[in-house]
Amino acid sequence: MASLKQRIYWKCPAFLQSLLASWHARRLDRERFGPAYGEVLRDIATREGWSAEQFADYQRRELVEVVRHAARKVPYYRRAWPDAGVDPESIQGPEDLPRLPILEKDIIREDPVSLIDETLDPASLIVLHTSGTTGTPLELYRDVWQNSALSAYITARFHRQAGVERRRNRSVSVGGHMVTDPARAKPPFWVYNRLWRQLYMSSYHLARRHLGAYVERIRRFRPDYIEGYPSSVYAIARHVVENDLAPVPMKACFTTAEPLLEHQRRAMERAFACRTYDQYGCGEMAVLACECPDGALHLNPEFGIVEVLDNEDRPLPAGESGQLVCTSLINRVQLLIRYRIGDWGAIGTDNCSCGSGRPVLGRIEGRMGSVLVAPDGREIGEAALSLLYYGVTGVAETQITQESSDRFRVRLVPGRDYTETQGRKVVANLAQRLGPVDIRLEIVDRIERTPSGKFQTIVPQSAAEAGEPQPQE
């Protein structure tokens, strides 16, 4: 359900929407490119060329500091660790992490403030609402330093390897914010953020009949790079390829938040005449991996420590797939130690040919990049739909099934503070993005899991119509 402010914004002419977007970016600029940005960039530069052993030593030192700090200043760990018989002083390195209990998403969902450093005022922090790729809405806290640090890592380890940088280079972003009314039937479906030299394009208007307008606007804009959700960027690239159009040349294409499939990568590289780089991370700032020019997904060891566990929570060796459990080293606001992130993957066994000492994330499994198709043909990816839960509390898990072109079902597992109002809000947010459709809300006790322990957050129409079996426990 759109706020009054958003409805007024949607009524503004396109030029005024772009002015408002640039004004909004000034606030975001202070949060994402504050004084810590340059400081962290310089700090990262001192570690370029480090060996795997040097990164391991760094993690060991930081882990000891994080665990001690959590034991003294974070209410949840101060309660949970003594109850589990844990002596924080015994944690001297990553090899000792199995002594600590695993942090489940339920803890964050039900009492996110208990994980915040008690010396901080939660009201002064930046609050994010996200479901990631697991369908579990979470309330996450950061401060300006963390947001700026994240931007620095994206710049240093992701964008700069392709010779580009946000704010300095012209870019196209295809993201989940509703930059124009979802009901809008004709272009423009984008705004120009002058401060960042960024053309921000809607992920909610990618109907085939509109894609020509998207491509033409990008071509006239002449960006240095494009970034966004794979499903959204692919829709634009596919139009170029399928219609045998001339490429829209750029220096790089960057994808994140959803799985990047091989056919999507091929279409993007053909459409934009450049290399595509993928990224893996989470709003919790527990892990960050960036693809290098040689095609490996390198973990950033300074961000956190990644464990791979089997179904009995036992450590697995490199090369074997299991559940990812992450300990954030960079998040000193809402501390996440041995956090079960909800994805499966494996640590790579071989050194990358690029020569970096940073470890490789061999593969990510379990992230499902399905899309919903609105009655008018617009394709809306999983990452864009994560914003359905903005301002919604009391929802444990959801699964959205497209049963026909205009009929959808939302299965919802209530959380501790759930009310019918919250369920109606989720349905209203979904309807706002899809248009005039029939949405049925179904309250359930649980959503079946796949063998990997996850559930499909989106069941597309093709799977629903084919009667494909639902995941089982």
pLDDT of 468: 46
Is-contact 126 144, C-beta < 8 A?
yes
The sheet with strand 322-328 has its strands ordered as 304-309, 322-328, 339-347, 361-365
pLDDT, position 298: 95
Q: Measuring CA to CA, how many Å separate 248 from each of 158, 207, 254?
A: 21, 19, 15
Specify the pLDDT at position 368. 46
The structure tokens listed for 169 are 């280079």
Buried b (16+ CB within 10 A) or exposed e, 177-186: ebbbbbeeee
> Hey, what amino acid is at 78?
R
Q: What is the pLDDT of residues 207-227, one digit of tens each?
A: 888 999 999 999 999 999 999
> Residue 108: how many CB atoms within 10 A of its CB?
22
User: Which pLDDT does position 56 carry in this prediction?
Assistant: 96
Chain centroid offset of residue 464 CA: 26
**DSSP string covering 401-466, please?**
EEEETTEEEEEEEE-TT--HHHHHHHHHHHHHHH-S-EEEEEE-S--PPPTTS---SEE-HHHHHH
Query: Would you state the pLDDT for residue 134?
Result: 53
Q: Beta-carbon neighbour count of residue 76 at 10 Å?
A: 20
Distance CA 71, CA 27 (A): 34
Question: What pLDDT, on the 0 to 100 scale, is given for residue 131?
Answer: 62
What are 366-400's pLDDT values in tens digits?
A: 554 567 888 988 878 776 776 677 777 788 778 89
Q: How much is the pLDDT for 393?
A: 77
Matching residue, tokens 């998403």? 105
Q: Is 85 left (phi over 0), alpha (psi -120 to 50) or beta?
A: left
Got the DSSP string for 139-164?
A: EEEE-HHHHHHHHHHHIIIIIGGGT-
Residue 302 three-state SS: coil
**Contact at 8 Å (CB) between 448 and 455?**
yes
Cα 341–60–278 angle (5° rounding)? 45
Inter-axis angle of helices 75-83 and 52-73, to 10 degrees?
90
Q: How far is CA 221 from the centre of its chain?
A: 26
Q: What pLDDT shows up at residue 257?
A: 82
Tokens coding 75: 């209410």
What length does the chain have? 473
- pLDDT beneath 50, residues of the chain: 368, 451-454, 466-473
Q: Domain locations in the chain? A: 4-32+170-280, 371-466
CATH 1.10.3720.10 assigned to 371-466: no
Model pLDDT, residue 366:
53
Q: What is the dihedral of CA 366, 367, 373, 377, to 10 degrees?
A: -130
- CATH code for 4-32+170-280? 3.40.50
For the chain, counts of helices (H) and of strands (E): 13, 20
How far from 291 is each of 327, 356, 439, CA to CA, in Å?
Answer: 21, 12, 38
Rounded Cα distance between 241 and 246, Å, is 9
| Residue appearing with tokens 């009667």 | 467
Supply the pLDDT for residue 470: 43
Whole-number pLDDT of residue 285: 92
- Burial class for 47, CB neighbours closer than 10 Å (0-12, 13-18, 19+): middle
**pLDDT 10s digits, 311-355:** 899 999 998 888 899 999 999 999 999 999 888 889 998 888 998
Which of 417, 462, 463, 464 has its CA nearest to residue 440?
A: 464
pLDDT score for 349: 86
Burial of 464 (0-12, 13-18, 19+ CB in 10 A): middle
**Cβ pair 318, 307 in contact under 8 A:** no
Task: Pick the closest to residue 207 from 374, 370, 369 (CA basis).
Answer: 374
Using DSSP, state whether 53 is helix, strand or coil.
helix
Q: Give the separation between CA 111 and CA 106, rounded to whole angstroms.
A: 8
Residue 321: the pLDDT is 85
